[in-house]
Amino acid sequence: NKESHYEDAIDRFQDAQTYLIANGYTIRHKYMVWIHGENDGIEEMSTETYKADFYALFSHFFDAGIEKCMIVPTGDTLIKNVDYTLIQQADYEIVSESDQYILA
């Protein structure tokens, strides 16, 4: 269930914030790292669909307080005979379209 995954991630993010504040830490920035796209490459998802799904998902993270997302592009050798070019292209386009995303 896609919703349960992002809701779990947001819950963990909020729990971490609560813990840090309760233990005297000052939170200056709220960033996350995103490594994803393997299944989308296997399914030969289009760049447009990947980006639309990505932006819809990340709207929830940004609403929860995440400031920036560092995207680690999907590699070429994760699963043999799978072309990740469209997913990689989508990641590069996302980074070029908004300063909320950073290529890592």
Q: Which amino acid is at 92?
A: Y
pLDDT reported for residue 53: 92
Q: Quick one: which of 57, 5, 63 has its CA closest to 71? A: 57
Determine contact, residues 75/67, Cβ cutoff 8 Å: no
The CA angle 81-85-86, to the nearest 5 degrees, is 120
Give pLDDT tens digits along the chain (104 positions).
Answer: 556 888 999 999 999 999 999 999 999 999 999 987 778 888 888 999 999 999 999 999 999 999 999 999 887 665 667 788 888 999 999 999 999 999 98
Question: And the tokens for 79?
Answer: 């699963």
Tell me how far CA of residue 21 lies from CA of 14, 28, 61, 63, 73, in angstroms. Answer: 11, 11, 20, 20, 32
- The DSSP element (H or E) to which 2 belongs, if any, is helix 2-22
